[in-house]
Amino acid sequence: MSNLHKEANPAPLGLLGFGMTTVLLNLHNSGLLPLSVVVIAMGFAMGGLAQIIAGIMEFKNNNTFGATAFTAYGCFWWSLIIIWCNPWADKYPVDTQSLAWYLLLWGIFTLFMFVGTLKQTRGNQVVFGSLALLFFLLAAGDFTGNHGITTVAGIVGIFCGSSALYCAFAQVLNEVYGKKVMPL
């Protein structure tokens, strides 16, 4: 491969998939939208597939952080869709305590990843910090059965997803213009 060949940056695709899906789901969590096939389809295509593709591309680019983050969160969306659609509901129903533990584990993973962002851009710090808070709030809402906590989580999630969208747009525009158009 020639030194003139430059690999595309897969992060904007992953951030776009994460951001769009996170905003849409948290419009539901905040009580503004019902959970519908629209959220499920976005979760499958952009939350899952787009992030997994970005993650695989990050592996190819030797970016362990990006590969781990995008691939893991892409799989998160696919597993969440399986939980929602639950083809085994007769034998294995979903209960809020199990879902709370699921969300707590994702929060712990995200907190670990947030520590990794302390050597990265402020934009990544905002995305991962707010995402960790989102997972912990969602877990607390399920552990306690307090819907108010889930509503607050929805507001945090809209912020988190919007910050990911900002980072995606900034990376694309900064590259296209060859200068800092939007700070990260």
What whole-number percentage of the chain has pLDDT above 70? 97
Both structure tokens of 59: 């592996």
In a domain, 170, yes or no: yes
In a domain, 23, yes or no: yes
Q: Of 160, 140, 158, 159, nearest to 150 (Cα)?
A: 140
Tally of structural domains, the chain:
1
Pick the residue with more confidence: 1 or 136?
Answer: 136
In a domain, 110, yes or no: yes
From CA 58, how far away is CA 45, in angstroms rounded? 18
Average pLDDT, the chain: 96
Residue 7, pLDDT above cutoff 90: no
**Quick one: pLDDT at residue 3?**
57
Find the domain containing 100 and state its range.
Answer: 11-86+93-177
Residue 44, pLDDT above cutoff 70: yes
Both structure tokens of 69: 């983050």
Residue 39, pLDDT above cutoff 60: yes
**Mean of the pLDDT values across residues 159-166?**
98
CATH classification of the domain holding 17:
1.25.40
Query: What contacts 114, CB < 8 A, 6 or more positions away?
Result: 125, 128, 129, 131, 132
In this predicted model, what pLDDT tens digit does every residue of 85-134 receive, in sequence order?
Answer: 998 999 999 999 999 999 999 999 999 999 999 999 999 999 999 999 99
In a domain, 2, yes or no: no
Confidence band for 33, pLDDT divided at 50, 70 and 90: very high
In a domain, 79, yes or no: yes
In a domain, 115, yes or no: yes
In a domain, 4, yes or no: no
Residue that is written with structure tokens 């799989």 in the block: 75
